[in-house]
Amino acid sequence: MGNKGKKKSFVENKDEEIDLARSVADAQEQKIKEKLEAHHYKASAHKSAPSDQKRKDTSKSRLERAKAAVAAQAKQARREKVKLRKKAKVSADDAPKSQTGSAEKPQTRTGGVQVAKKRVTFG
């Protein structure tokens, strides 16, 4: 309670106080600049790191290539099925119709192979 009227004085001269304040402010500014530069360097290094981007690009491109390969295989399989159907249809049309009563025994094609249906009666 007795120190109310007396100020603490760390420096004797007013000019020294100003110089001390400037040096403290300069030191703080320097620290902030260093932090910003380090952060900026890390950010730019992270963006331009070709190994990280390359790895992501290669995994994406590998996935896309695999999908394209699967799609190509499916397309080729469909083409083969169509060719087999056309061959079966042409060979069925060219074959002589020696069967009598073809209305009683209709034939179906499954996978390019003709299979005769059997009639079943219940009763």
Write down the pLDDT at residue 107: 52
Torsion of CA 91, 97, 98, 99, to 10 degrees: 100
Write down the pLDDT at residue 52: 57
Write down the pLDDT at residue 12: 79
Write down the pLDDT at residue 50: 57
Write down the pLDDT at residue 67: 95
User: Low-confidence residues of the chain, pLDDT below 70?
Assistant: 1-3, 45-56, 95-114
